[in-house]
């Protein structure tokens, strides 16, 4: 545990990528395999089951620190991180040799079955025996992940250097639903069993966002174009007579979309397809919101399948006849994919093929991008014809050129403190629109303002608070901001009746009074 805490502290002390890779590489080289495996798991957001809730942790921490609960809560709101608040509040009282990382996590896992008294006794013991940073890391394991600028790609690069295995091979081995509780370092990293990898997806290749200057840099003939669909990026795997569906977030979602199991037998074994899950009813693309209704259900009934039918819009093929073909050029992979699609589509399978487009000049590209809304797409994907299917984001090969965002002017009504370096500033905002001469909440946003603007808004919030709800302040409705968003759908869960996707602040409208802000009726106009 001491070694892992030192690793986290060292990683958190630098923002230099190469330095982080070196730190991680040295850790993997010098650390027992059991601990290395758990370090890989924790840094890729695979933490053990939570043995207690954060409410109990706050109550116990205030008791052990001998401070009133209200004072601890106020401190928590100021610090902005529960793990750090506890580590700063509770003193080390006993000097015990800390357990190893794997031993500590085993203790945490075993804690799940204990009663509250036993849990409290164990937590107190560890809090009193750990130094501040060990305590911080211990609390992070209990409550959530580590936000220290370590992507899975960066960690994989370091591991590759430590074990002398190619990075792309390791990236594939680390995909899917594995757990340190059921596997070993040897089984996962060094010598995996092929039978255990039947359901395993490939790492996703991602696109870079671009601006309107892109067309000046490359000949249009070097690229192919597709519409960007507003769904859920997924991999469909058919191996050994079974179907597996993975989200980009490495979640196995096969049971949420049972209709795709009909593809077993139609699609040959040893096939992996990359695509987008989209709601599709009466030959029309639906809303992402509809897709979420299916994802959020434990069981998907036949009725729900009929109400919200889906298809997978195919972009790419990564494995064919049991062979990894990611190193084939995109044009060749598209040929294989199109040939497969022609064979299976005659069976009315829940599957579509993304149309590939070619243009003579960039003016034609711009015109097609303008037609995205009428086709219910988010914009265009731009892919180099000779690109291989790589891992993560790789500059120069795939780009996404989204349509211009939808915008609306809204009034700031609530604010909440931020996190990390912005803990002492109000940076998380709630915005409202007019309806029948009342302001109705429609979205939250926390990005888009410059640091100087954030400080000015923070000052306004502190000077114009009219009510408080824990860490949230209600403010005088005086400030107007232009809010950008990607899409909109009806929603009974929101006061406004609508949910917007990816809201962010575009600019502060100093030129507008709150009477000039838009209404809910204005928002409705964006519904397609």
- Per annotation, catalytic residue among 20, 140, 228, 334: 228
Distance of CA 172 to CAs 165, 176, 250, 516, Å?
12, 9, 12, 53
C-alpha–C-alpha distance, residues 125 and 65, integer Å: 13
The answer to whether the CB of 214 falls within 8 A of the CB of 399 is yes
How far is residue 294's CA from residue 259's CA, in Å, rounded to a whole number? 12
DSSP state of 298: S
- Within a 10 A sphere around the Cβ of 217, how many other Cβ atoms? 8
The Cα 438–Cα 457 span in angstroms is 23
* Residue-by-residue DSSP string for 236-251: EEEETTEEEEEETTS-
Distance separating alpha carbons of residues 526 and 520, to the nearest angstrom: 11
DSSP string, 277-293: EEEEETTEE--HHHHHH
Contacts 24+ apart (CB under 8 A), 241-249: 241/265, 241/269, 242/198, 242/199, 244/198, 244/199, 244/201, 245/277, 246/175, 246/176, 246/201, 248/204
CB 119 within 8 A of CB 52: yes
Angstrom distance (rounded) from CA 486 to CA 403: 8
Residue with tokens 């991180």: 81
Q: Are the CB atoms for 454 and 427 separated by under 8 Å?
A: yes
Cα–Cα distance between 254 and 319 in angstroms, integer? 19
Give the SS3 label for residue 53. Answer: coil
CA angle 334, 335, 337 (to 5 degrees): 60
Beta strands in 323-469 (DSSP E): 323-324, 351-353, 377-384, 392-393, 398-402, 406-417, 426-435, 438-445, 465-469
The burial class, CB within 10 Å (0-12 / 13-18 / 19+), for 208 is middle
Residue located via tokens 């209990």:
142
Going from the C-alpha of 175 to that of each of 41, 170, 196, 199, the distances in angstroms are 11, 9, 12, 10
Task: Tell me, yes or no, if 34 is annotated catalytic.
Answer: no
Check if the beta carbon of residue 273 is closer than 8 Å to that of residue 243.
Answer: no
CB 237 within 8 A of CB 243: yes
Give the active site residues.
Answer: 228
């Amino acid at each position: 545990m001491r070694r892992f805490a030192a690793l986290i502290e060292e990683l958190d002390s630098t923002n230099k990528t190469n330095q982080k890779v070196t730190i991680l590489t040295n850790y993997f080289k010098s650390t027992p395999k059991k601990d290395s495996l758990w370090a890989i798991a924790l840094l890729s957001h695979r933490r053990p089951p939570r043995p207690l809730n954060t409410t109990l942790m706050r109550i116990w921490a205030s008791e052990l620190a001998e401070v009133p609960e209200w004072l601890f809560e106020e401190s928590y709101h100021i610090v902005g991180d529960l793990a750090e608040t506890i580590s700063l509040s509770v003193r080390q009282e006993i000097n015990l040799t800390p357990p190893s990382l794997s031993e500590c996590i085993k203790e945490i896992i075993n804690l799940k079955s204990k009663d509250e008294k036993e849990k409290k006794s164990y937590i107190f013991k560890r809090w009193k025996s750990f130094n501040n940073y060990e305590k911080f890391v211990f609390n992070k394991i209990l409550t959530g992940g580590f936000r220290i600028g370590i992507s899975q790609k960066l960690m994989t690069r370091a591991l590759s250097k430590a074990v002398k295995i190619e990075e792309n091979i390791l990236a594939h081995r680390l995909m899917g639903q594995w757990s340190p509780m059921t596997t070993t370092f040897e089984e996962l990293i060094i010598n995996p069993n092929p039978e255990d990898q039947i359901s395993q997806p490939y790492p996703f290749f991602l696109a870079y966002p671009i601006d309107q200057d892109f067309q000046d840099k490359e000949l249009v003939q070097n690229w192919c174009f597709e519409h960007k669909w507003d769904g859920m990026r997924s991999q469909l795997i058919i191996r050994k007579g079974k179907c597996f569906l993975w989200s980009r977030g490495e979640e196995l979602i096969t049971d949420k979309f049972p209709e795709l199991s009909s593809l077993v037998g139609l699609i040959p074994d040893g096939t992996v397809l990359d695509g987008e899950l989209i709601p599709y009813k009466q030959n029309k693309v639906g809303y992402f919101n509809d897709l979420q209704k299916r994802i959020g259900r434990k069981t998907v009934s036949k009725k729900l399948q009929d109400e919200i039918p889906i298809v997978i819009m195919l972009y790419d093929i990564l494995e064919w006849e049991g062979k990894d073909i990611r190193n084939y050029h995109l044009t060749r992979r598209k040929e294989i994919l199109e040939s497969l699609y022609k064979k299976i589509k005659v069976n009315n399978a829940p599957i579509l093929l993304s149309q590939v487009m070619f243009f003579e000049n960039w003016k034609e590209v711009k015109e097609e991008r303008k037609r995205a809304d009428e086709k219910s797409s988010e914009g265009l994907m731009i892919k180099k014809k000779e690109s291989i299917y790589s891992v993560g984001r790789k500059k120069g090969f795939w780009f996404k050129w989204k349509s211009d965002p939808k915008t609306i002017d809204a009034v700031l009504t609530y604010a909440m403190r931020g996190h990390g370096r912005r803990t002492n500033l109000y940076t998380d905002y709630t915005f409202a629109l007019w309806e029948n001469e009342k302001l109705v909440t429609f979205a939250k946003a926390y990005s888009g303002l410059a640091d100087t603007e954030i400080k000015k808004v923070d000052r306004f919030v502190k000077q114009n608070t009219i009510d408080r709800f824990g860490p949230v302040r209600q403010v005088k409705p005086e400030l107007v901001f232009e809010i950008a968003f990607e899409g909109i759908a009806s929603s009974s869960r929101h006061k406004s009746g609508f949910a917007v996707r990816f809201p962010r602040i575009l600019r502060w409208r100093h030129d507008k009074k709150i009477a000039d802000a838009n209404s809910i009726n204005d928002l409705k106009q964006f519904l397609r």
